[in-house]
Structure 1
């Protein structure tokens, strides 16, 4: 109430712990001052899924870990990224550029993406020449997905349901997913399977039954209800898109204060689907007074046609905006 009284812009409270119901007060929670280790990284995935399953949607962690890096660390496997030109930042932690990059890839698909810690530098160019283009790639992807993310936030505001979800929440009839704790859904479209093992360049991914899936990077279409081995070189986060998904993509921006236009609406055929695209001023509580815009998108798979209702979200002809994935 004090925030609303004294500050015009929306309140945001960053907390390391909270009680059920605190999500009503603009609270996001992070996993505290964790260690910069592969074990700590691996634990973040199931921890986040347990947390959001409690009904508190906005969970995050310190990408790369918060605590100081050890003076030396020599991994069991050769590092996938050369640390030699990042020594001023990572010291003798030989595989830290690899750890940070894998963590950054995962962080791109968290409700709140935060890179934070006790390192000397934290820019994308601070972890070596080999890491820099990979980090840049995922940072740009995060901004490109902002229309999708913001619309997911609107859905959470309406329903209270989290948009980072353990697989059982979306596929309750698939008995094979009950114990899977290292994959998750990110909204209705994306299945995310982080690589949390040092030196790994592939991992097994289970694709839930009842739908087909597309490999995000290759557009290969795969039948659900099976576990597959997925190539995952250091620059690739195993990422799949559910058939029928509608994914709005924004234009290139450098921060969320800049105006962002809808650049593409990408559809992954295979099922009928709907998606509500949402936008407002991004700062104030005016949305509570009805000052927002929604565009309802509907994909008819049989007709291979996308229709829209509501406020126009783009001015270009639909054929310039619509991108139907084919493989």
Structure 2
């Protein structure tokens, strides 16, 4: 049997390998398997039972242990090692790596299922540049790692693109670059992440910063390639038993997003841009006059200069336009409104800080050590070397001064970088070696600066470009300069779903679209209605058409106001999605195939998605759309959030659209906290909140729900103890519906331990025959017309139980 297995194994993996590569020897040293071949050395180690790292070091090179992405420490004690005259094998309960000695071959298995194998493995070849990056990736040859993959699997990843959910068949440039005014297809954008995600629930992360390419079987040869100009030949294979498990494992490897401040989930006032303090004040006053909630105002580049060109790099308040900047910030703060100024990493030679930047040697340099200067749209410039300690500290001092003026967040723009010629040099390498990690390290310096100098404040870091693991620095990414058209809107769901799977769960868009002078109220409203169910709600655009609802037509303003009020209604639900993401990496926006992993049709579907676990969302993506085809995932019954109509899972319906909202459905059996009307998140208190339970008469198993509460400001640290959970358990025993509520209070919690809770149980067809309260006193009212019960009762540290006889 062993011989038969070996014969079958060799025949399975024996195709398409590198016949020139010869196995020479191996050794197991400190739980790292070292395999010597004719052209170099392999090093294989486990991070845990679901993550294996493979590094190849070609002859003549030295091993580089430095990763910009990985933060997990290897725990590789729990694996088995086997060897024979023909093969080597290392395995855990989840992963198996088999190395055939002749012909040499490395293959990766998950519980006996072949995932992928090295085809030619590592080699060099002549560089064939993609048209989009011919002027950016200029090399004679590149280094390649090549794999065999399954013929039928769908492939995701590679960062932010608009290509369709299944990205197989594309060769993708790994060179962060803006795509101004993109619409229905964008092959190259601001985030190009070297990660491939398979529908077989595994990932391959190429742990190397320099620029290059990902080829997702563009030649239809069942082949995956990673191609780079230089650097590490290191990759991690990550597996998961579910989609949630896979993302948990990846974010365990590269870090998780810290919980953002609660105000970041509110509405932003933003445009390109507010030219003066007076204009900013008038805009905020307009929100107040119209009773439209708003939490923050973003100041574009006019805060440091009157002109669009020639002033970038001033990085100090332009007093001619913002004479009492600090008072303005303070006045806004007293209204519960945060101020966020834009910054860029470019210091123009015409800016006020140019001479200081030169003298302090904080800029990237040319080949002989002088500041490297070049022209781009905004003027003749140098770029801050954020990899150099003195450059990093100089830039942080700018942010520290702004924070001391009262600003509450950072907007980092043009961080691809927008333009960075290959001839520039930084402290950590050439421009092309650090290009894709510039935004990543920029976010890092801001995040670490806040940790050191403002440790009680959660930072808000809005950035346009990043890398694998940027989420751990609190980066809030957005999808760049999308066109203000229906075509621009159409790809936004795909971008956010893809990026959420790659760890960056706060990917969002300039609501309403950014580029172009297109005044289309229907498009604007539909985009904002979609934004209600986005991680960040931030209308933003070029100023030739207003992005703020207060400056739109009365009809558009009214509908936008409804959307914004709905956004605030969901504030605590959304805050709990953010908390879950900080603990598990699970994205706020989730593809429908998370719900039905075996449904092939859902693997490429992006016109609808799950918002958290409980909401099913279908944006309106076409002008004048009267009906929307909606597929309801299996395993649940779904309720129209606005009208109460129920739909069985596994069915498809044509839903009539409404001007006032997009098709929104809630999973039957869910408990959702909904907040009463507030002017912004500063006004949020738990006594303004109701828990809505959408009773499912088919309930069979006990259901559990937990909601997290804290001050919304202090960095999340389970050891500080200033938080609590509200837990609900729901089950049905015969004709009795039992709901148990427990308030789990942390040891050092400083708030009120007793609170009044309002619970609304919906879908109760008749007034309950009997009600029992345990460990509390309460009352119940029944709405005969709308068929729901309202319970009001007090919860403290004792478990409370409500029994409802149906």
- Please give the TM-score of this superposition, normalised by the length of structure 1: 0.86
1:118 Cα offset (Å): 1.4
Give the direction of change, closer, same or farther, for the CA distance of 1:20–1:170 in structure 2 (3 Å limit). farther
Q: Is contact 1:246–1:274 with CA below 8 Å preserved after alignment?
A: no
Name which of 274, 282, 288 aligns with 2:712. Answer: 282
1:246 Cα offset (Å): 1.0
Structure with greater proportional helix content = 1
1:266 corresponds in structure 2 to 692
In the TM superposition, 1:39-78 aligns within 5 A as: 39-70=487-518
RMSD over equivalenced CA pairs, Å: 2.0
1:224 corresponds in structure 2 to 649
| Greater relative contact order (CA < 8 Å, ≥ 6 in sequence) | 1
The C-alpha deviation readout for 1:115-141, integer Å capped at 9, x for no partner, is: 111135333232212222221111111
- Please give the TM-score of this superposition, normalised by the length of structure 2: 0.36
**Distance in 1 separating the partners of 2:549 and 2:761:** 30
1:21 aligned onto 2:459: no
Name which of 740, 744, 766 aligns with 1:307. Answer: 740
1:148 aligned onto 2:573: yes
**Distance in 1 separating the partners of 2:600 and 2:724:** 39
Q: Secondary structure at the match of 2:525?
A: helix
**Distance in 2 separating the partners of 1:284 and 1:158:** 16
Q: Is contact 1:214–1:242 with CA below 8 Å preserved after alignment?
A: yes
Stretch moving more, 101-110 or 177-186: 177-186
Give the direction of change, closer, same or farther, for the CA distance of 1:226–1:238 in structure 2 (3 Å limit). same
Q: Secondary structure at the match of 2:554?
A: coil
1:322 corresponds in structure 2 to 760
Flag structure 2 segments of 5+ consecutive residues without an equivalent. Answer: 1-447, 746-752, 765-786, 788-806
In the TM superposition, 1:232-271 aligns within 5 A as: 232-261=657-686, 262-270=688-696, 271=699
The C-alpha deviation readout for 1:78-116, integer Å capped at 9, x for no partner, is: xxxxxxxxxxxx3xxxxx100000000000000111111
Name which of 589, 594, 597 aligns with 1:172. Answer: 597
1:6 Cα offset (Å): 1.5
Q: Secondary structure at the match of 2:681?
A: coil
**Distance in 2 separating the partners of 1:157 and 1:116:** 26
1:286 Cα offset (Å): 5.7
1:116 corresponds in structure 2 to 540
The C-alpha deviation readout for 1:25-67, integer Å capped at 9, x for no partner, is: 1111100111101001011111111111112211111001112
**Distance in 1 separating the partners of 2:626 and 2:514:** 26
Q: Is contact 2:693–2:762 with CA below 8 Å preserved after alignment?
A: yes
1:314 Cα offset (Å): 7.4
Stretch moving more, 283-292 or 238-247: 283-292
Give the direction of change, closer, same or farther, for the CA distance of 1:17–1:212 in structure 2 (3 Å limit). same
Q: Secondary structure at the match of 1:297?
A: strand
**Distance in 2 separating the partners of 1:57 and 1:122:** 24
Q: Secondary structure at the match of 1:59?
A: coil
1:227 Cα offset (Å): 0.9
1:32 aligned onto 2:480: yes
2:624 corresponds in structure 1 to 199
Stretch moving more, 140-149 or 111-120: 111-120
Give the direction of change, closer, same or farther, for the CA distance of 1:27–1:301 in structure 2 (3 Å limit). farther
The structure number with the bigger radius of gyration is: 2
**Distance in 2 separating the partners of 1:197 and 1:133:** 21
The C-alpha deviation readout for 1:147-195, integer Å capped at 9, x for no partner, is: 1111111111111111210011122144442221111001111000001
Q: Secondary structure at the match of 2:755?
A: coil
**Distance in 1 separating the partners of 2:716 and 2:666:** 33
1:297 Cα offset (Å): 1.7
Q: Is contact 1:174–1:208 with CA below 8 Å preserved after alignment?
A: no
Give the direction of change, closer, same or farther, for the CA distance of 1:115–1:223 in structure 2 (3 Å limit). same
Name which of 437, 456, 460 aligns with 1:12. Answer: 460
Q: Is contact 2:703–2:729 with CA below 8 Å preserved after alignment?
A: yes
Flag structure 1 segments of 5+ consecutive residues without an equivalent. Answer: 71-89, 91-95
Name which of 711, 729, 749 aligns with 1:298. Answer: 729
**Distance in 2 separating the partners of 1:138 and 1:301:** 35
**Distance in 2 separating the partners of 1:211 and 1:36:** 36
Q: Secondary structure at the match of 2:488?
A: helix
1:73 corresponds in structure 2 to none
Give the direction of change, closer, same or farther, for the CA distance of 1:102–1:296 in structure 2 (3 Å limit). same
Q: Is contact 2:563–2:661 with CA below 8 Å preserved after alignment?
A: no
2:236 corresponds in structure 1 to none
**Distance in 2 separating the partners of 1:20 and 1:286:** 22
1:2 corresponds in structure 2 to 449
2:612 corresponds in structure 1 to 187
Stretch moving more, 264-273 or 42-51: 264-273
**Distance in 1 separating the partners of 2:515 and 2:666:** 34
